[in-house]
Structure formats: C-alpha cells, structure tokens
Amino acid sequence: MTFSDLNLDPKVLKAIAETGYTEPTPIQAEGIPPALEGKDVLGIAQTGTGKTAAFSIPMINRLIKGRARARMPRTLVLAPTRELAAQVAENFETYSKHVKLSMALLIGGVSFKEQDQKIDRGVDVLIATPGRLLDHVERGKLMLSGIEIMVVDEADRMLDMGFIPDIERIFKMTPFTRQTLFFSATMPPEITRLTQEFLSNPTRIEVARASSASENITQALVSIGSGRKDGVAKAKRDGLRAILADEGDSVTNAIIFCNRKRDIGVLEKSLKKHGFSVGSLHGDLDQRVRMATLEDFRENRITLLVASDVAARGLDIPAVSHVFNFDVPTHSEDYVHRIGRTGRAGRSGKAFTLAASAEAKYVEQIEKMLNTSIPPMELPGVAKTVEAVDFIPTEEDQPKRSRTRRGSRSKQIDENASVKTVNASQPKNEERSSHQERPSSPTNSEPQTTQASRGGRGRDRDDRGSRVKGLGDHMPAFMLIPIPDLSNRNAADDDDIEALDAA
C-alpha cells in the first residue's frame, strides 16, 4: 500500500512525497481511512511508529474545506509536553505546506500576547498543552465550542503527569458532535475509562502489543554492584563512560535519561570534564534554552543529550543511535518510551540500562511488562569500577567528635593520683595518713586518664571499656560526711558545726 491509495488530496500527497515517504506505517495505513470518514479512532502503537502523521494527515485533508473564525479554532491537538507539542506543530507545517491553513501553538514559556494575536485572527489548527490551553480559556481569549476534530496524543503520558482532570474538563468544553482521535502507546485502566466515556464507538487500531519495545532495538542490562548511594552514582558514571568507549564510533548521538533533575547537572559536568560533547534538557530550563538544545542535538552540534523524561516523548530525531538509562525508570511504561527514541523509521538502535541492586524491583516490573528478560551484559572495566567505589561520607559516616581538651589539658593526669576521701571525724593531717594506708580498689589501681587518652569512648565507659553503672567504685567525699542531729541543738554543738564547716 502507498499513500496514493488512501484517497488523500493531491496537495497533501505532494507534501508527503517531498518528505521522501512512499509507504505508510501500519498505524498510518489502518488509522487514516477511518479518520477520513469522520469516525472516532483509538490508536495503540509503540512510540516511533508514526502516530503523529496518522492523525495530522487526515486532519489536514479534512480542513482544506472550511474557514476559521476568531477565537474559535476548528481542531484541537493536546500534547503532554512542550517538546511534543512543538514536534506536532512541525509535522503540520511539513504536511500542510501546499495548503492554506493557519495554526497556533499554545505552550508555556512563551508570552501570552503573541499567542493571543494568532487566536484573535482565527486558527484552523490549535496545538496546545493542557495547562496553557486552560489559561487562555479562563482569560476569555479562547472558545472551544467550534472544535470539529479533537486529538489526544500520548494519553498515557498525560496520566503520568496528572493531566487527566484537565483533559476531562477540556472534553466537556467541546461539542458532543466532535470527532475524537485518541493515541497512546500503553492503555492503563484510567486511560481505558477515559476512552469509554468520551469516545463514541471508536475504531480500535492496535498494530503492536501494548507496552512492547521495537524489534529494531538491541537491549542490554548492565548491573552495577551494591554499595552506598553516592558510590553507585560514581560507578554508574564510570560504567557509562566504559560503554561509550566500547561502542566507539557507532555512537553517532545518544540520549541519556536520568530520573532526577539534580543528577542531570552532575552527569553533564562529569561528561564534559572527560571531553564529551554534551547538553542537558529538563523541565526547569527556559523554553528558549530547551528548544536551542534540541536544535543543537538535531544538527549534531552536541553528541550526547542528558535528559529527564521530558525527552522521552515527542523527539522525532530518526538518527539517534543509542539510548542510555542512567537510572532505571520507576514506571515500566516509561522504559518503552525512552528506548523508543532510537530504532526509529526502520533503523536499528541500541539501548543500555545501568541498574544498581536497589533498582532490581523496577527491572523486574519492566521485564514482566515486556514478557521477556533484558539480556545482561558485562563490559571490561565495569565490574572493576564497581568494586572500587568511592563515595562522599554522609553525616552518619563522619567520625564521632570526642571531647578532647586542647593544649596542656589533653595530657594525662598523674597516674599515681588518687581520689581523696574526707572523714569529718578525723583531723586533716590524720586524713592523709589514713587515706594513704587505705588499700585501693582494683578499679582505682588502674591508671586514670582523661577522656582524650581513652580514645573517645564516651562518658559512660571506664578505662577498660566496660560500661559504668552508677558511680562505679568511686565514692564522692561529700557522701562520707556524717549528718549531725540538729534537733536538740545547743552551744556544745557549735564545735561540731565548726568542724563540719572546716571539713
């Protein structure tokens, strides 16, 4: 089958021919005919199979007839991320170059004024992220009552990002008579419920088993040994560089996925330090920076792109040779989308996943979803790297600070010094002689040192390392002083009181 067999307008066929495509992909061959007939379509296909063209081509073909009105777009395409929305916009520009259609892109990071101006003139195709679309609606700048065709792209990603309540709200703003095209790579229960509520007897197209990976992708699992968190991160960086060195010139460009934004910056600096051409992409970056980084990656001005899952959808870069999962995705469906950045348009690709022992449960979930195991792989130097893990000590690993006295105070006290006991009933000169004749206890016979000389064992241990119970063998002098009976105090008792005070 060719595109000419799909009853498309000659202007649309001309634009398709100029892209170099002659035969539609399975999702396009099965999805375009019912879409041209005005039927609802539920398309399930793995990423990289041409879902964008499967809905953009029939939409353009139907929009040739008609006219847009101010603030009332004729069609609406919802995308989960800015990058995917921009990618869809590029596809519409490519396939509608010979058709006079207007288009507006509503995404964050761009001023409202420019977007409002396009909406005021009237647009045939409105491509938006849910949040920015609702912002325009709430400001009274946009009405959805004229929507003829509504497309929800990457619906499962919408679910992951928490957009389902917004999607339901937007659906209720559109006419009941609209045509709905719903595309997703996976179909979790919540997405199934959404399709049952808002799609009318849809044509279901499933060209590949849900949550399956492309056969053009060679997968490999590199196990990173157990260890401390900081040590595993370093071992993964070493392992990544080992794989890049082993793959050599076959790595024309690659996307490296991390789960956390803070790790993206650390990995980017590390790769730059080792001489790699690298850039980064995540949701906290300014939109202009994100688009500039993507353009540099497409034009091969940078070879490696360290990114979050914001790059897992919508990056139509056919020549990506490798994908690296620096972190195992916590959601198994994200694995399919990540590795789907390579092996596109019939090309072959490679996907490597670096997994620490703590991430084994996520690997099991992915393998269960794929209904197959990811082939393990060992590279020379990776195991050695893991064994020689370096890590930054955390607060728990810092040595306990002993209460060591500085200067002369840290010296040992005289080993022959003993504790003096006072007997109030004896004169002071007799106290010394009787005390010197008194046999010392085994504990007191040990040399007594300061806490610094005991190696910082703490207050609750004696010199021999045993735990002290109560006051130990030492009896403080004040506890040996007899308590006089002052109930019948008289003048004779004054001598005893003076002796007591003197003691």
Total number of domains constituting the chain: 3
For the chain, percent of residues with pLDDT exceeding 70: 73
Query: How do residues 329-387 score in pLDDT, each as one tens digit?
Result: 998 878 988 898 888 767 889 999 999 999 999 999 999 988 899 999 986 554 443 33
- Does residue 368 belong to any structural domain of this protein? yes
The whole-chain average pLDDT of the chain stands at 80
Are 257 and 113 within one domain? no
CATH of the domain at 242: 3.40.50.300
CB hemisphere CA count around 244 (13 angstroms): 23
Q: What gap in Å lies between CA 224 and CA 58, rounded to an integer?
A: 47
- Look up the domain containing 250 and give its range: 217-397
The identity of residue 147, as a single letter, is: I
Please answer whether residues 45 and 135 qualify as being in contact, where contact means their C-beta atoms are separated by less than 8 angstroms. Answer: no
| Tokens describing residue 61 | 């073909």
The arrangement of strands across the sheet holding 304-307 comes to: 217-224, 349-356, 322-325, 254-257, 304-307, 278-281
Residue 466 has pLDDT above 80, yes or no: no
Torsion, Cα 264 265 269 270, to 10 degrees, reads -40
The C-alpha torsion from 133 through 165 and 285 to 104, rounded to 10°, is -20
Q: Which tokens go with 329? A: 């995705």
Whether 409 is covered by a domain: the verdict is: no
pLDDT tens per residue, range 41-96: 999 886 667 889 999 999 999 999 888 888 999 999 999 988 889 889 999 999 99
List pLDDT tens digits, range 136-187. 999 999 999 999 999 999 898 888 888 999 999 999 999 999 999 999 877 8
Q: Do 197 and 256 reside in the same domain of the chain?
A: no
Q: Is residue 379 part of a domain?
A: yes
Q: Which residues, including other chains, have CB under 8 Å from residue 209's CB and lie 6 or more apart?
A: none
Q: Position 322: which residue type?
A: H
Domain end among 336, 368, 397: 397
Indicate whether 202 and 236 sit together in one domain. Answer: no
